[in-house]
Structure 1
């Protein structure tokens, strides 16, 4: 498993705070070592000398020290949490940016609910762990070394006995850590699967109801949840067992052994009562420090397991970063598909040759699955060509910036997608500067203005999730209006009248033709309806991934 600590140390703010944490925690831990010294001083020196002032002075320091430590710890935790929260939010936004920059092929191989689950997972706990717990870990190790030195000065035998605590603790801890890591990875995968089932349930609610499969899907969720609960029980048991091993078994065992050895040394040598009390206090701190150290190792493995996928998204290089484009989009003459090949799974485009002249209307027809829509995918650089090239005014498409290309080409598909909100919200999404007049002109071109005016709230009408409060034809026309409002020099129309009646289709055709002439818009239109392509300057027919015919509208109309 890859360790992502390098992320912490690559950020200057986190790196500085992590180092400051180490120093601060070390100071706090060293302050915590003072009280046992006061205990020895009181018992061995101040009580025998009947010095009440010094006794109460030492007791006061003994009491006030933990209070000072608690105040420092609270203040430091507050600052660390604030830093972790801010940085965690930055990471979440960066991961979402990285995901959105990925080529379409990336999403073809990903589970959408899993992406949602991981991209929505907060990294705050991970950041906090490395800003707080990891520095503590190293501070605890240094503190352990100091305590060993103190104990060695009291008695080398007692110090040596404490060294045996480490191997007895560390071997089982490693075993526990590996089992925890494996279990957590399984839980994360199963949770992603559960989220996908839930997402699909609501996404396909109409199908679920009409097929009466509600119970079947609920049973799938219940069975998956039961497995997750079982795994969490296993994780909790392993976690508890690891804590018990060090705190519940080894600590009492070694405390008893140390006390017995101290008593023996008190009898056989000059080890004072104050020293014994001090030793017992120091070993209590020692065992606590060691237990925390071992637990931090386990928690570190848990954090890496929980966040491995999350940080793999942070390391993604998007399509915009990996391309070596040097040109902005500009088309004054034509777009040429020259001997283009593309393959994906069992589908392929073979030797596609097209010429799309600036300001023209180009039609593409063919049966479903013949590869028509894929031509738009390639032109928008959503997928790379397998072979051949696409030229825009003799410039290879691969040398044109993807984001600038997509700012000039608008694709309007029969598969509409609307965001929750109002009609106006969805329209302004593609053109934030559009006025109400601009919006109504676009709606009119899409033959939707009369429908909008019939609504009580007009443009402020809520469309619902994915536009489910509108009919299929209304969504399709609204999607067309969005594309027109975007006001780009190229319109890629993908079956935009598939759900419309012939009269509405004819009206939209006339409006688009008029718009293309007024604004010099180049139209590339995929359609099952030959009549929609009445004004096309040229029509290509695609069959089985190949161009089998090129002709004018009348040529195809005569055959029909």
Structure 2
């Protein structure tokens, strides 16, 4: 018994907590929300009118065979029913309005949270899960909760009014009816326990379905090129089968409650009829009392037969609220100081002091990195794939935070700066730059929304885009499609470089910005990059060593360690050095033996 009471208390606490969580979103329009709920009182209460009026009608007309007084009862019933219908319409309209506003507010807050979540969250979350949790859950949490709350309040008010009619007609029959009612609804307390694990598994399948849709959209050319239609279709069909299996399982776990309630209610009706008949014979109640009582009892019991679906919907809404607020209440992994240090012009440079980093706890990918990069210096990072180069530069704009040690700008730990201020001082050009749906101008202006047309023209020239733009009918206002799908790889890179030009940040990070380009595109993009790097502190990650020979210094990062550091000439003089080995592999052909003669091919880079 104690265990049952504890669970009930926890459910009540969850109910109260969920509405406390939702209150800040309801508060801006609480009068409308309150009105939509208050309308439930008369809408539900008017259910009892028909049952209440049947007593005098039955006693006078049916039994007494007289039309002296209750002739107005049918008119009143029609009138009250009309009023109830109008109030129900008003309540439904208000409920939809409040639900829509509430959903908008919650989605806006979720999107605001999405924009602030650190990149590590996206590393471990699929696009399908993102869509479901940030969109579908908000819909279910708001519209489902309000709709079910309206239904419950209407049902409660109706039940109270109908119970009043029951008590008015016969307290003996009322006790019997209420006992049966309690027995019938008792299984509803198990709904949450029965559903929680299945809903979680079903949501996981829905995440994967959404992810599959996104992959099919984004990877349509790969699917076509590799004839992956059957594979994708097979995966999708399997997911659909999993969803179907889980849906059937949810029905199997909860559907028994409805026939159980039907059975208990039929027993209650049978006992009420038997006891009522005995009371009529004894003269304790009149025929009108009995008819009014049975009518009220039927009106009370009938909706309960379908209350299982409402209870399931309520629990799904509560689970959705839990998931939504697990996101909203999720603490940021990138903590910001309450009183951040201002970041003026950078005067000395960027310093890595004993930097260690791990994506997963206990698996270190950067080991005790120490680097001092001076203002105006170009530092190139080379080394084996997966060695930690991109990870190292990702620490500068705080895409991730160090596990040990610190990254400093002018001697101040970057965690002491305001995050927005820090990133405003950094421009990043990635290997695969993301372009937004829109025009070339709109994408470039993301670097500086207040830039003038003259600034844009200068950025286009510096990014070697002016000839390409001149060839377009609409010039810089040409629409480029989602992710810049209408541009070539080199053109997308130059648009990203133009965007970085407009930002005019003192620190520039080039993360393999030319590695995916052909030789001609690379040459053009490299000229644009050379323009971008002027008077900047630059971090360049490159596999093609021809692009980094002129760097002030070159850091070799292998397996998370800083293996070598120096100029191109200094590193080439290290016998058996890692940089020299990489250089020889890229620039020189192997030795060819012709008897006793050895020849080397010319450099090909």
Structure 2 CA distance, aligned partners of 1:514 and 1:177?
62
Deviates more, 1:68-77 or 1:295-304: 295-304
Deviates more, 1:63-72 or 1:490-499: 490-499
Deviates more, 1:66-75 or 1:126-135: 126-135
Residue in 2 aligned with 1:6? 20
Alpha carbons of 1:64 and 1:197: their partners in 2 closer, same or farther (altered >3 Å)? same
Residue in 1 aligned with 2:313? 299
Residue in 2 aligned with 1:80? 95
Structure 2 CA distance, aligned partners of 1:468 and 1:259?
74
Question: Residues 450-529 of structure 1: matches in 2 within 5 Å?
Answer: 450-500=467-517, 505=522, 509=526, 512-513=529-530, 516-517=533-534, 520-529=535-544
Per-residue deviation, 1:80: 1.6
Alignment counterpart, residue 40 of structure 1, candidates 37, 47, 55: 55
Per-residue deviation, 1:411: 0.8
Alignment counterpart, residue 223 of structure 2, candidates 208, 212, 218: 208
Alignment counterpart, residue 40 of structure 2, candidates 21, 25, 30: 25
Per-residue deviation, 1:390: 1.3
Structure 2 CA distance, aligned partners of 1:8 and 1:510?
54
Structure 2 CA distance, aligned partners of 1:307 and 1:96?
16
Give the structure, 1 or 2, with the largest relative contact order (CA under 8 Å, sep 6 or more). 1
Residue in 2 aligned with 1:388? 405
Aligned partners of 1:104 and 1:383 also within 8 Å: yes
Measured against aligned partners, the alpha-carbon deviations of 1:18-68 in whole angstroms (never above 9, x if no partner) come to 655554322332233233222212333577888746322222112211111
Alpha carbons of 1:163 and 1:209: their partners in 2 closer, same or farther (altered >3 Å)? same
Residue in 1 aligned with 2:328? 314
Structure 2 CA distance, aligned partners of 1:210 and 1:508?
28
Structure 2 CA distance, aligned partners of 1:454 and 1:71?
64
* Residue 544 (structure 2) pairs with residue 544 (structure 1): no
Aligned partners of 2:510 and 2:539 also within 8 Å: yes
* Residue 131 (structure 2) pairs with residue 113 (structure 1): no
Residue in 2 aligned with 1:280? 294
Structure 2 CA distance, aligned partners of 1:251 and 1:406?
66
Alpha carbons of 1:322 and 1:256: their partners in 2 closer, same or farther (altered >3 Å)? farther
Secondary structure (helix, strand or coil) at the match of 2:370 reads strand
Alpha carbons of 1:23 and 1:348: their partners in 2 closer, same or farther (altered >3 Å)? same
TM-score, scaled relative to structure 1: 0.89
Secondary structure (helix, strand or coil) at the match of 2:285 reads coil
Measured against aligned partners, the alpha-carbon deviations of 1:142-189 in whole angstroms (never above 9, x if no partner) come to 653454454334333211211231343134434455434443332211
Per-residue deviation, 1:302: 2.5
Alignment counterpart, residue 423 of structure 2, candidates 365, 384, 406: 406
Alignment counterpart, residue 58 of structure 1, candidates 65, 73, 83: 73
Per-residue deviation, 1:334: 1.6
Secondary structure (helix, strand or coil) at the match of 1:120 reads helix
Per-residue deviation, 1:537: 2.9
Aligned partners of 2:47 and 2:158 also within 8 Å: no
Question: Residues 346-425 of structure 1: matches in 2 within 5 Å?
Answer: 346=363, 348-425=365-442
Alpha carbons of 1:501 and 1:235: their partners in 2 closer, same or farther (altered >3 Å)? closer
Residue in 2 aligned with 1:98? 113
Residue in 1 aligned with 2:174? 159
Deviates more, 1:402-411 or 1:234-243: 234-243
Structure 2 CA distance, aligned partners of 1:325 and 1:461?
44
Structure 2 CA distance, aligned partners of 1:307 and 1:482?
39
Per-residue deviation, 1:425: 2.8
Aligned partners of 1:35 and 1:61 also within 8 Å: no
Alignment counterpart, residue 86 of structure 2, candidates 54, 62, 71: 71
Deviates more, 1:411-420 or 1:177-186: 177-186
Aligned partners of 1:342 and 1:387 also within 8 Å: yes
Root-mean-square deviation (CA, aligned residues, Å) is 3.1
Aligned partners of 1:99 and 1:318 also within 8 Å: no
Structure 2 CA distance, aligned partners of 1:322 and 1:17?
38
Per-residue deviation, 1:136: 4.6
Measured against aligned partners, the alpha-carbon deviations of 1:493-521 in whole angstroms (never above 9, x if no partner) come to 1122223455665665555555554xx43
Residue in 2 aligned with 1:189? 204
Structure 2 CA distance, aligned partners of 1:370 and 1:18?
57
Measured against aligned partners, the alpha-carbon deviations of 1:299-318 in whole angstroms (never above 9, x if no partner) come to 32122234543332222233
